[in-house]
Structure 1
């Protein structure tokens, strides 16, 4: 196996030049300015000291650059994973305590090990169990839950909980104790960040700046809010007036340290680590594939698993917490012109310099400003309109999405996503347990067969053609038996039943037993079973059993051939121009494909 298979950096590293370094450096500068306030804010969201957010933005970026396949994905703390971290740890330890920090590192370790194991075993398909409606509902509900949870920092009150049922009553009861200076700082920060998000770039362009430069400066809006807030608190001594600030932040790079190695705690955190791994991978791979497609690049899911696994392991050993690829930062990184993962390396260097030089200046940073940063960031993730669109298209998917949203908001993060995934799988099994089956007939003058209820077609009284539009497996095997029994009972003249298998991609052992039972029942009724348009892989599977030797019927390459053979008097020949067109097409060798 080539080493570059697991180390994509060997591929792009050979072609790395000064021009790429310049573009990566510029992108890193912009992402660093964006990542500093986000790292501090998301650490606070996770219930950790703010500096851990900076720690989680150094070594994980270096590790991903080695193993990740995306050229522009920006790895680090993200809102949803931070919320899931808090949800997993809050019931166990006091937020911010040494035990809590150690457990967060252990959670990152478990997540890293799970992701790396999934990469080596090529189990990326497990993320497919998180359907898009469920993920969309989970992210939207998480955004709402995060935003509501941060209101306590804007109001300067205390409130906690894992759901709206717990948080909202506490916020309501705490309103009389609201701290007006904190509220003013929070509201001003919210107003500035919201305005800067949509209006700052056009204003800078009107002042004469180019569109790229204006966009890059607009991304630094949170940094300006932090600077102004720190200056205001320092000059007016608002911290002594009751405004809660970040406080002392350790200066210097994190040392390598072991997470809490407690087997009992690890087993307790394992389900949460698995959910964090899957959600983080789905979010990361979605962003990575979207951005890669814009440059006609491609990413490897197994490499992404390994890259994210290495990033989380690095975070675990450097005092951090679970990380993944962030949507907003990755888009900024892409738009700023990042060419390779070296942009992440440069970003890590920028964060490291900040930890060494700037942390003393953050002492008077109000927590309300970080809360405002989180609220503005997560509300952009909320898309409740998706629920309406999904419901209109598929009520089953809409039900799963709605269950996820309500579960996250009213019960909790982990329970919500498990509820959505479980309901999705149950609805899938229910839907496929009653597959669409259509009695078909020949379209006059052609070799095509269509549903008798939708088209004017020709049927043979002695041949029943039944098209099955679903794979045959254990949930629908009995339904197939019942449906065939009903159709035969209502058609006394039928002597042949042809199962048209163009939509069948699988016949499992349960369905094979049902087919054998159907053959016996049909024989007692004087009807012979036949198959048509069986796909190659399904035919290969049937050949590994004795079914084809025992069922007594034939396997036809097309439904038209079946009707020609079994009821030649009923088969209508295609029109002359259709025959000429068919004759002009290259013919196969008779293989079933």
Structure 2
């Protein structure tokens, strides 16, 4: 019978929760709450949803993550990339601003939560490893560019649409003459202020003698200052009458109980986007959680994180939200503020609930341009085009994967971009393993070690070919090994024995076994011995279940030096080689 307590990490850390942890969590929650209020409103705007949806999506999900999550610092809620994916997915179903749009967002969160929960229950967290980090970096970079571009319409105060970079830029250029000058000033000043806050406020305050804690808090509260200043300016000067678009009425209430749509047509349209959102959200969340956990010598459980994120998304689906995941910026703030346990997230949810009840009337005059500036400043930190240079220098295959992901995301949209990223990651893995590194090795003089004949001065015997295979053998690369040996051991040559060094082979599947049998049969027909060395136990177990061992035209040696001694020293007649056969063992 399964131990259900393992699915509730709160029972573990809750037993040792003390006053010191409570104090640290409460301070961290205060700082994160101040940061989350404008950020939640901004990301809801990015997702094409009413501003209150961002706050709703930041309350119940955080509480549920605190119960099921394993990270002490991860802060769950709306994030830029997931918000963009949400807008892209739902935009294909219905138009923004309609009841059906919000309804579809609930369904998307429900499907995403259900998929994550199932992956967690079946312990499938390892599947995220098939997404290569360069591809993820390329997708996030392209998404950051798309997000920043999509918010320029709010900076200019014009109406524009589009899901790709060419569409967005074209729509902006067509309507640029309709830009509202006051809106441009508000958005431009807000963006410049936020950039300065992010980079220059803290050093400036430190130079003026402010304590580290005060300077740090002021830097994190910068977006709140921008919100307050621009809201007051719009209210005092009645700038909305001059065409400045504002947030307007935001319901003054706690998250409502909502029901996602479960119609077959809606589920069919949103299922694939939900899966893609889940995968990207999980990879981003786990990457952040593992990075922060390592700093405190803690660990997280990726499979339990799937369950926690699944529960968080289901919570969003039933409380008026939309898909959520762990955010990088707010998690780092939570960590730096001293969060000790996931309880900090629960306290943040309480703070956001108070804000939803008491502060929403204060954002009536908040200009959309300020929220857009908040998003632009936040997402531009995600843009890292240097990944192109780094991958170009290290791996041409990785460079092609990153460049393709970026171009497809910018040119065809985020859904095609993320789908391409998944496909490219899998193809990249298959390509690399389909052409495993195979080195012909020889004996390092005066040792029992064997190294690549192209990199080291080694002793070789023309009658003996030893190949070290640096990859597990399976259906993708089995034929590659056959072709390699056919080219290396031609008919009528001097080779009398071939040894495959299996020290790096961790697994052999049925297709590879068939290839090994074919190699054995060919070499036997040429009167050439076929041998294996340094075969690992699990691989030997697999070989013993096949016909290979019974038909093997040679032997299996415990070590490569034993194979060398047996096949070269006992059978060879070269004086140049025989002198290395007198080495003492070990």
Tell whether the structures are fold-level matches, with TM greater than 0.5: yes
Find the counterpart in structure 1 of residue 234 from structure 2: 233
* TM-fit CA distance, 1:574: 6.4
Query: What is the match of residue 83 of structure 1?
Result: 84
Q: Is the 1:34–1:219 Cα contact (8 Å) retained in structure 2? A: yes
- Return the alpha-carbon distance in structure 2 between the equivalents of residues 454 and 246 of structure 1: 66
**Alignment partner, residue 54 of structure 1:** 55
* Distance in 2 of aligned mates of 1:426 and 1:573: 48
Aligned to 1:590: none
Alignment-derived partner of residue 71 in structure 1: 72
What's the CA shift for 1:203? 2.2
User: How many Å apart are 1:289 and its aligned residue?
Assistant: 0.5
* Alpha-carbon shift at residue 572 of structure 1 (Å): 5.3
Question: Shift of the alpha carbon at 1:360?
Answer: 0.9
Q: By how many angstroms is 1:575 displaced? A: 10
The aligned residue for residue 515 of structure 1 is 516
Match in the other structure for 1:102: 103
The 5-angstrom pairing of residues 535-550 of structure 1 reads 535-550=536-551
Q: Name whichever of 198-207 and 82-91 sits farther off.
A: 198-207
After TM superposition, list the pairs within 5 Å mapping 1:165-564 onto structure 2: 165-489=166-490, 492-564=493-565
Distance 1:490 1:61, change over 3 A: same
After TM superposition, give the deviation of residue 56 of structure 1 in Å: 0.4
Counterpart CA distance in 2 for 1:550 and 1:256 is: 69
Alpha-carbon distance in structure 2 between the residues aligned to 1:542 and 1:457: 31
More displaced, 56-65 or 382-391? 382-391
In 2: Cα distance, 1:127 partner to 1:527 partner: 45
Q: 2:15, 2:424 → 1: CA distance?
A: 48
Using the alignment, how far apart are the partners of 2:55 and 2:434 within structure 1? 50
CA distance in 2, matches of 1:470, 1:226: 56
CA distance in 2, matches of 1:238, 1:248: 16
Query: Is the Cα contact below 8 Å between 1:446 and 1:573 reproduced in 2?
Result: no
Size of the alignment, in residue pairs? 580
Distance 2:578 2:247 in 1: 83
By how many angstroms is 1:542 displaced?
A: 0.8
Q: Which moved more, 1:92-101 or 1:368-377?
A: 92-101
**Aligned partners of 1:142 and 1:413 also within 8 Å:** yes
Q: CA–CA distance in 2 between the matches of 1:165 and 1:199?
A: 33
Contact 1:445–1:573 (Cα < 8 Å) also in 2: no
Shift of 1:266: 0.8
Greater Cα offset, 22-31 or 251-260: 251-260
Please state how far the C-alpha of 1:26 moved relative to its aligned partner.
Answer: 0.5
Deviating more after overlay: 189-198 vs 481-490: 481-490
What CA deviation, in whole Å up to 9, does each residue of 1:54-97 have, x standing for no partner? 00011001000000000110100000000000010112111121
CA RMSD, Structure 1 to Structure 2 (Å): 1.5
Q: Is the 8 A contact 1:108 1:313 kept in 2?
A: yes
Distance 1:300 1:328 in 2: 21
Instruction: Check 1:114–1:477 CA distance in 2 against 1; reply closer, same or farther (3 A cut).
Output: same
TM-score by length of structure 1 reads 0.95
Whole-angstrom CA distance in 2 between matches of 1:298 and 1:427:
29
* 1:119-134 alignment runs, 5 A limit: 119-134=120-135
User: In the aligned structure 2, how far is the partner of 1:491 from the partner of 1:335?
Assistant: 70
The CA deviation string for residues 3-33 of structure 1, in whole angstroms up to 9 with x for no partner, is: 4311111111111111111111110000000
Q: Do 1:284 and 1:325's aligned partners in 2 also have CA atoms closer than 8 Å?
A: yes
Tell me the distance in 1 between the aligned counterparts of 2:581 and 2:435. 37
Q: Specify the alignment match of 2:568 in structure 1.
A: 567
- Paired residues of 2:513 and 2:546 also in contact (CA < 8 A): no
Q: State the secondary structure of the residue aligned to 1:240.
A: helix
3-state DSSP class of the match of 1:498? Answer: strand
Secondary structure of residue in 1 paired with 2:241 = coil
Decide whether the 8 Å contact of 2:163 with 2:413 is kept in 1.
yes
Q: What does the per-residue CA deviation read over 1:368-398, in whole Å, with 9 as the maximum and x for residues that have no partner? A: 0000000000001111112211121111011
- Shift, 1:179, TM fit: 0.5
Structure 2: how far apart are the matches of 1:219 and 1:32?
A: 11
Deviations 1:184-214 (A, max 9, x none): 0000100110111111112222333211221
Distance 1:173 1:532 in 2: 70
**Is the 1:134–1:417 Cα contact (8 Å) retained in structure 2?**
no
Q: TM-score, normalised by structure 2?
A: 0.96
How far did residue 491 of structure 1 move?
6.6
Greater CA drift, 250-259 or 73-82: 250-259
Asked whether the 8 Å contact 1:444–1:572 carries over to 2, the reply is no
Secondary structure, aligned partner of 2:440: strand
Aligned 8 A contact 1:34 1:222 in 2 = yes
Query: Unpaired segments of 5 or more residues in structure 2?
Result: none
How far the C-alpha of 1:167 sits from its partner, in A, is 0.6
8 Å CA contact retained: 2:441, 2:466 = yes
- Residues 246 and 364, structure 1, Cα contact 8 Å, conserved in 2: yes
Q: Distance in 2 between matches of 1:22 and 1:253?
A: 26
Deviations 1:108-161 (A, max 9, x none): 000110111000000111211211011100111100100011000000111111
SS at match of 2:175: helix
* DSSP-derived class of the 1:445 partner: coil
Structure 2 Cα separation of the partners of residues 82 and 103 of structure 1:
13
The Cα shift of 1:446 comes to 1.1
Measure how far apart 1:493 and its partner are: 2.0
CA distance in 2, matches of 1:320, 1:530: 63
Residues 253 and 355, structure 1, Cα contact 8 Å, conserved in 2 = yes
| Structure 2: distance between partners of 1:25 and 1:390 | 42
Query: Are the equivalent residues in 1 in contact too, given 2:569–2:581 (CA < 8 A)?
Result: no
Q: Distance in 1 between matches of 2:578 and 2:106?
A: 72
Retained in 2: the 8 A contact 1:400–1:421?
no
After TM superposition, what 4+ stretches of structure 1 lie above 6 angstroms from structure 2?
573-576
Greater alpha carbon shift after TM alignment, 518-527 vs 99-108 = 518-527
Q: Which runs of 5+ in 1 are unaligned?
A: 583-593
Q: 1:33 corresponds to which residue?
A: 34
